[in-house]
Amino acid sequence: MSILRKSLGENLAEQGVISISQLRQAQAEEKRSGCHLREALVKLGFITEKELVNFISSKMGVLKIELSNYIIEPNIIKIIPAELALKYEVIPLLKIGDRLTCAMADPWNVFALDELKSHTGFIIEPAVVTSTEIKDALKKYY
């Protein structure tokens, strides 16, 4: 099975970044609190946000960025309505031709990528950021 067909948790465990026991604990926390698995892993101290972003970037071949280095133009922000940006925790960064680069903490979310493409008409190029960065940017721009 390819890395893209496995969940984030499965990939982390398979690569030895976390143990199966830690994965199960994080999944239980995810169910209990309603947070994302990545947030549960960080909350439980199994991985840092930066380690998670580095893992996702290296394993998926996704661009890793720091949102604090970007000033995003209002016309770019308007491409994705607040409802979708908040639902999928995504910030549009840059539009070149038919491609829209978007910062997201969960580039594994195929549903988000599909809905964003359907809504915008652009090919979505994800760039991975920490959950904290995306939440801060959502407050700032939306």
The closest of 67, 55, 37, 87 to 134, measured between CA atoms, is 67
pLDDT in tens, 7-46: 889 999 999 999 999 999 999 999 999 998 999 999 999 9
**Lowest mean pLDDT, pick from 40-44, 58-62, 82-86, 87-91:** 58-62
Name residue 135's amino acid.
K
Local structure of 122: helix, strand or coil: coil
CA 64 – CA 10 distance, rounded (Å): 21
Q: Tell me how crowded residue 60 is: count the other CB atoms within 10 A of its CB.
A: 17
Kind of pairing between the strands at 63-64 and 90-96: unpaired
Kind of pairing between the strands at 99-104 and 123-128: parallel
H-helix or E-strand spanning residue 131: helix 131-141
Average pLDDT over residues 95-110: 93
**Residue 20 half-sphere exposure toward CB, CA atoms < 13 A:** 1
Tell me what pLDDT residue 109 has: 87
Domain boundaries defined on the chain? 3-47, 64-141
pLDDT in tens, 64-78: 999 989 999 999 999
CA 111 – CA 88 distance, rounded (Å): 9
**With respect to CATH, is domain 64-141 assigned 3.60.15.10?**
no
Reply yes or no on whether the pLDDT at 90 is more than 70. yes
User: Residue 3 gets which letter from DSSP?
Assistant: G
